[in-house]
Chains A and B, each alone.
Chain A
Amino acid sequence: MRSFKCDACGYENKEGTTICKKCGKPHDQAENSQLLNMRYDGTSIRSKTRNRSIIDKIWNFFSSVKVGVTLIAIALVASAIGTIYPQEMYIPQTVSPEAHYREQYGLMGQIYYQFGFHQLYGSWWYMVLIALIGMSIFIVSIDRGVPLYKALKYQNPKRHPNFLKRQKLFASYADYTKEDKKQLLSNLRKYRYKIIEKDGHFLAEKGRFSRWGPYVNHCGLIIFLIGTLLRFVPFMYIDDFVWVREGETKVIPSTEQTYYIENEEFIFETYGDDEEDQKFAEILAQQNAPIAKHFETSATIYRDISDDITGSEPELEEVKSGNIIVNQPLKINRLALYQDSYQLNEFQSMSFKLHESGDDAEESIVQFTVDLTNPSREYTFDNGFRIKLDQYYPDYELDDGEPRSKTNYPRNPGFVFFVYPPETEQPEISFLAIGHNIDPTQENDYKLGLTGFDVRDVSGLKIRKDLTLPILGVGAFIFMIGLIQGMYWQHRRIWLHPTDNKLWMAGHTNKNWFGLNKEIEKIIKHTNFTMPQDQEEKQHE
């Protein structure tokens, strides 16, 4: 590292220093009348020193405030682009994203999709951008914070005359008494300035800790970023979802098939059920559909205590039982199950009766119920009738004339029944679905009819575990402390410098000059000292 000698005091300063560390003589070539740049108290910023190795070059890149601001600007623009069209997770799941963006937003949408902006916030380059900002913040903090700390810790109260003359607030007094000076120092102490003295030179200082505000703030930000990074660790963060039907027991995802949940009952209330809802009668009358007032899942959580292989019947032991309401999750081992959504009235079973085709009274010959969750193949009756469930479509639709099921769930069940009257081997075929009762041959002697059905509700539960929240909280808290520290306090310094027959005074603050001026007004009370001049204003005149 190259260094240079201060021509006033002979101190070896590091390259890049603008104000001598020992005596405070400004080392720039500027005219004496120009105000001194007090940033980082004139110390050499670490990165500004000469560098050769690749590490130093990387360090310098990240420690540049220009680079940091550029990165933030790019991230800002990118984040804004991500909001032009909805992100992929918010578009309908039924169409392919490519088609959706093209159809909804035309050419622009297609370009948007091609560039991958539809999943911008999860893209690798966005992640890298945010990580680079984090790195920049970290390195800048070390690069600027450490020299500043050192410079402020080892301050020399005795400063070079040019240092004082080139401060924003400066005054030179010829007319003063010892008592005035004493009073001044006592006033400074009264306003909680810390005073150090060397050879009759004084430095009064307060609020230095406010200079650490930005660095404390950055520490908080880095802790916050680490917290968000830890969300990628499954142990720290789980975000999953499960649909559970009433009466059904299901494995809770992300628990490695350890925990199961049973939906005992889904409770759904709408406005208008209660007498007290009468006050809403007018507005309710204008609605087409009932408005949900309350929904709740009564659930039991089990643990599989068998150590059998995956897929074998679990041996369930009750762990916890309770009701899940919005914002009141059921918790096990920091895993919380939140009420998220619901589907009402999914078919659970359907009941049929058989009657003679010509019988207008539809007098029942046999009756049976099909359990849609686990339908039996055959239904036999004492009177010799036999009914075979040949085909079952839980969610029936016609696809090119072929019946098939759209989904796994009995939302629109369709059945093909083979009816075997007593002593016959030739069945009569009937097709039944909601709104359909088809006799393909038109020659059936017997007809099936729907007599009733049972429905059940499906509860959608969000599965959440977030151990990063305390880390995020601590990060945000430290961030706020740093912010307050830097915002509500100022670092104020006043130098007193005796010359042959005069006393010089200079003042500096890192912000809020108005406040410093006001304070000096109070400090010079009961003395002969006058207000120092604002040299910046003087220059403007």
Chain B
Amino acid sequence: MNKVELGKQKKQIKKRRRLIFRTIIIMLLFAALIFAVVSNLSADEAAVDVGDEAPDFQLKHLNGSGEQTVRLSDFEGKGVMLNFWATYCEPCEREMPYMESLYSQYQDRGVEIVAVSVDATELVVHNFVEDYNLTFPVLHDKNSQVLDAYGIKPLPTSFFIDENGVVVERVLGELTLEKLEGYLQQIEPS
């Protein structure tokens, strides 16, 4: 009798061990599967995404007074719309007037608009700024360093950064006036 019970007990232990072993193996395999799928889907995503802190940078200010540089951290405490654009990019050209039209209104409410041009030459940017009478700071990323740091692929790409420096929204491509206003409202400091 004792022997039978001992055998039963042994079997129970064996069974439990098998369950633990199988659970571990299956969990490991599923973890690998989830890792593969998630990293595959996020492979194309940019270096800076929603929820990330926007990396600080410093660039030459093209439409300021004199030789000046602007840092992103200069706008701490304000909401910032960071727009990457180029003069040769038609959608960028279309959304610029929208940005200009909302700029003064939202600047009073604590939102700054910063446009980073990735053009090769300053001259073309100056001409563009004059043509469109842009009053918000236009910066020049001559060495494409900020472009690289933000992992920009298509132009335009706009980041909407809240007063704490956290990216709230990342928009690839052209913005309409309504959408732009909606995003600007989102990053208004409370």
Please indicate the chain A residues that have their CB under 8 angstroms from the CB of B29 in the complex.
134-135, 138-139
Q: Is the CB of A309 within 8 A of B144?
A: no
Binds B, one of A97-105, A404-412, A453-461: A404-412
Task: Report the nearest A residue to B23, measured CB to CB.
Answer: A55
Q: Is the CB of A309 within 8 A of B122?
A: no
**Most-contacted residue by chain B among A232, A374, A390, A392 (CB, 10 A):** A232
A113 to B18, CA, bound (A): 46
Task: Report the nearest A residue to B150, measured CB to CB.
Answer: A310
Q: Is the CB of A375 within 8 A of B123?
A: yes
Q: Is the CB of A232 within 8 A of B33?
A: no
A250 within 8 A of B: yes
A251 to B150, CA, bound (A): 13
Residue-wise interface mask of A (306-327) relative to B, using a CB-CB cutoff of 8 A (1 in contact, 0 not): 0011111010000000000000
Q: Closest CB-CB distance, A337 to chain B, in whole Å?
A: 16
Q: Is the CB of A135 within 8 A of B149?
A: no
A131 to B148, CA, bound (A): 33
A46 to B58, CA, bound (A): 64
Which residue of the partner chain, among B43, B58, B121, B145, contacts A394 with CB atoms under 8 Å? B121
B68 within 8 A of A: no
Binds A, one of B34-42, B75-83, B103-111, B163-171: B34-42
A124 within 8 A of B: yes
Please indicate the chain A residues that have their CB under 8 angstroms from the CB of B120 in the complex.
373, 394, 408-409
Q: Closest CB-CB distance, A407 to chain B, in whole Å?
A: 6
Which residues of B57-102 are within 8 A (CB) of A?
57-59, 69, 71, 86-88
Which residues of A455-511 are within 8 A (CB) of B?
none
Q: Is the CB of A310 within 8 A of B123?
A: no
A139 to B86, CA, bound (A): 54
Residue-wise interface mask of B (126-152) relative to A, using a CB-CB cutoff of 8 A (1 in contact, 0 not): 110000000000000101111011000
Q: Is the CB of A131 within 8 A of B41?
A: no
**Contact A374 to B58, CB < 8 A, known contacts A128-B37, A135-B33, A408-B88:** no
Q: Is the CB of B36 within 8 A of A257?
A: no
Q: Closest CB-CB distance, A148 to chain B, in whole Å?
A: 17
Measured as residues with beta carbon below 8 angstroms from the partner, the interface class of chain B is: 35 or more
B22 within 8 A of A: yes
Residue-wise interface mask of A (389-413) relative to B, using a CB-CB cutoff of 8 A (1 in contact, 0 not): 1111111000000001111110000
**Contact A310 to B149, CB < 8 A, known contacts A1-B15, A373-B121:** yes
A404 to B33, CA, bound (A): 49
Please indicate the chain B residues that have their CB under 8 angstroms from the CB of A128 in the complex.
33, 37
Please indicate the chain B residues that have their CB under 8 angstroms from the CB of A40 in the complex.
none
Please indicate the chain B residues that have their CB under 8 angstroms from the CB of A127 in the complex.
36-37, 40
B11 within 8 A of A: yes
Which residue of the partner chain, among A122, A251, A309, A389, contacts B57 with CB atoms under 8 Å? A309
B19 within 8 A of A: yes
B118 within 8 A of A: yes
Q: Is the CB of B124 within 8 A of A310?
A: no
A229 within 8 A of B: yes
A58 within 8 A of B: yes
Which residues of B1-53 are within 8 A (CB) of A?
11, 15, 18-19, 22-23, 25-26, 29-30, 32-33, 35-37, 39-41, 43
Which residues of A46-100 are within 8 A (CB) of B?
46, 53, 55-56, 58-59
Please indicate the chain B residues that have their CB under 8 angstroms from the CB of A312 in the complex.
58, 69
Q: Is the CB of A392 within 8 A of B56?
A: no
Which residues of A228-279 are within 8 A (CB) of B?
229, 232-233, 249-251, 253, 256-257
Q: Closest CB-CB distance, A366 to chain B, in whole Å?
A: 20
A132 to B87, CA, bound (A): 48
Q: Is the CB of A257 within 8 A of B26?
A: no
A232 to B119, CA, bound (A): 32
Which residue of the partner chain, among B30, B32, B55, B124, contacts A392 with CB atoms under 8 Å? B124
A-B contact count (CB 8 A): 118
Q: Is the CB of B149 within 8 A of A257?
A: yes
Please indicate the chain B residues that have their CB under 8 angstroms from the CB of A377 in the complex.
123, 126
Q: Is the CB of A311 within 8 A of B58?
A: yes
A59 to B40, CA, bound (A): 26
Please indicate the chain A residues that have their CB under 8 angstroms from the CB of B121 in the complex.
372-375, 392, 394
**Contact A131 to B143, CB < 8 A, known contacts A55-B26, A138-B25, A392-B124:** no
A407 to B15, CA, bound (A): 69
A128 to B32, CA, bound (A): 10
Please indicate the chain A residues that have their CB under 8 angstroms from the CB of B58 in the complex.
308-312
A250 to B121, CA, bound (A): 15
A291 within 8 A of B: no
**Contact A314 to B143, CB < 8 A, known contacts A55-B26, A127-B37:** yes
A128 to B34, CA, bound (A): 9
Q: Is the CB of A405 within 8 A of B87?
A: yes
Q: Is the CB of B146 within 8 A of A310?
A: yes
**Contact A404 to B88, CB < 8 A, known contacts A232-B40, A257-B149, A310-B58:** yes
A53 to B18, CA, bound (A): 12
Please indicate the chain B residues that have their CB under 8 angstroms from the CB of A122 in the complex.
40, 43
Please indicate the chain A residues that have their CB under 8 angstroms from the CB of B56 in the complex.
309-310
Please indicate the chain B residues that have their CB under 8 angstroms from the CB of A249 in the complex.
143
Which residue of the partner chain, among A131, A256, A310, contacts B33 with CB atoms under 8 Å? A131
A174 within 8 A of B: no
Q: Is the CB of A405 within 8 A of B124?
A: yes
A142 within 8 A of B: yes
A392 to B37, CA, bound (A): 47
Please indicate the chain B residues that have their CB under 8 angstroms from the CB of A132 in the complex.
33
Q: Closest CB-CB distance, A374 to chain B, in whole Å?
A: 6
A336 to B57, CA, bound (A): 28
Q: Could you pull out 24 A-B pairs where Cβ atoms are within 8 angstroms?
A: A56-B22, A122-B40, A122-B43, A124-B41, A127-B37, A128-B37, A134-B29, A232-B35, A251-B145, A309-B71, A310-B58, A310-B145, A311-B141, A314-B143, A372-B121, A375-B121, A377-B123, A392-B123, A392-B124, A394-B88, A405-B87, A406-B88, A407-B88, A408-B119
Beyond the given A55-B19, A131-B33, please list 10 additional residue pairs across the A-B interface where CB-CB is below 8 A.
A1-B15, A56-B19, A128-B37, A251-B143, A310-B55, A311-B57, A389-B123, A394-B124, A405-B87, A408-B120
Binding site for A on B (CB under 8 A): 11, 15, 18-19, 22-23, 25-26, 29-30, 32-33, 35-37, 39-41, 43, 55-59, 69, 71, 86-88, 118-124, 126-127, 141, 143-146, 148-149
Binding site for B on A (CB under 8 A): 1, 46, 53, 55-56, 58-59, 122, 124, 127-128, 131-132, 134-135, 138-139, 142, 226, 229, 232-233, 249-251, 253, 256-257, 308-312, 314, 372-375, 377, 389-395, 404-409
